[in-house]
C-alpha cells in the first residue's frame, strides 16, 4: 500500500507542476526614449527578495532579430528590481547596454544606457516612464533582408546560399 501512496503523491506533484510550465509568460519592459524599444525576457519572473535571476530574451524593435541577455536582482527588502541587459543587433551593427531600476511592486522606474555602434557611443537616460509587466510577446523576428543561409569569405564578406561556415 505504501508504494501506491508514494506513486500517487509523486503523480500529484508532477500534475501540479505541468500547468505552471505550460502557462509560463514572458516579462516585457517598455517606455524607453526610443518608443520602438521593447525588451522581452523569455519566461522571466521577478526574483524573490535578495535573489538574482538570468534574463534571456529578445527585442523585436524594427523587426530585427536582436537577442538580449543580462541579470535581474531584487533587493533584500523587496522594493527594487535592478536589471542590466545587453542587446545586440547584427543587422544594424550596434550593441545597447541598459541599466534598469524598477520600484516594486509597481514595476515602474528608470533607465540609463548606452548605444555602441558606428564608431560612436551614445548615452541616454529616462528618469521615469519605464514599465515592466507580464506579457505574451513571443515572436522573434528573422533578420530582415538577409538570406537564411550565409557563409563568410576569408575577408568577412557574406556569401549568400553557400550553406557552410
More confident of the two residues 103 and 147: 103
Are 137 and 39 in contact by the 8 Å Cβ rule? The answer is no
CA angle 36–41–47, rounded 5-degree value:
130
pLDDT at 45 over 70: yes
* Stronger pLDDT, 148 or 30, i.e. the higher one: 30
Say whether 159 sits in a helix, a strand or coil.
Answer: strand
pLDDT tier for residue 6 given thresholds of 50, 70 and 90? low
Judged against a pLDDT cut of 50, whether residue 26 lies above it is answered with yes
Instruction: Say how far apart CA 28 and CA 1 lie, in whole Å.
Output: 49
- Name the nearest CA neighbour of 111 among 98, 123, 95, 122: 98
Cis ω on the peptide bond leading into residue 105 (within 30° of 0)?
Answer: yes
Average pLDDT score over the chain: 79
**Taking Cα atoms as reference points, which of 88, 40, 50 lies closest to residue 67?**
88
pTM above 0.85, yes or no: no
What is the average pLDDT across 137-148? 66
Q: Are 91 and 146 in contact (CB under 8 A)?
A: yes
User: Can you count the helices (H) and strands (E) in the chain?
Assistant: 1, 10
Residue 28 is predicted with a pLDDT of 95
Banded model confidence at residue 5, pLDDT cuts 50, 70, 90:
low
Amino acid at each position: 500500500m505504501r508504494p501506491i501512496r508514494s506513486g500517487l503523491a509523486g503523480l500529484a506533484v508532477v500534475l501540479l507542476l505541468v500547468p505552471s510550465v505550460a502557462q509560463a509568460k514572458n516579462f516585457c519592459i517598455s517606455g524607453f526614449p526610443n518608443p520602438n524599444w521593447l525588451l522581452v525576457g523569455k519566461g522571466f519572473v521577478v526574483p524573490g527578495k535578495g535573489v538574482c535571476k538570468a534574463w534571456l530574451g529578445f527585442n523585436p524593435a524594427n523587426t530585427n532579430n536582436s537577442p538580449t541577455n543580462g541579470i535581474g536582482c531584487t533587493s533584500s527588502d523587496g522594493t527594487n528590481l535592478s536589471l542590466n541587459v545587453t542587446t545586440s543587433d547584427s543587422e544594424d551593427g550596434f550593441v545597447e547596454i541598459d541599466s534598469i531600476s524598477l520600484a516594486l511592486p509597481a514595476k515602474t522606474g528608470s533607465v540609463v544606457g548606452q548605444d555602441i555602434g558606428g564608431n560612436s557611443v551614445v548615452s541616454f537616460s529616462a528618469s521615469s516612464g519605464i514599465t515592466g509587466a507580464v506579457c505574451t510577446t513571443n515572436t522573434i523576428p528573422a533578420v530582415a533582408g538577409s538570406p537564411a543561409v550565409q557563409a563568410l569569405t576569408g575577408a568577412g564578406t557574406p556569401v549568400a546560399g553557400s550553406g557552410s561556415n
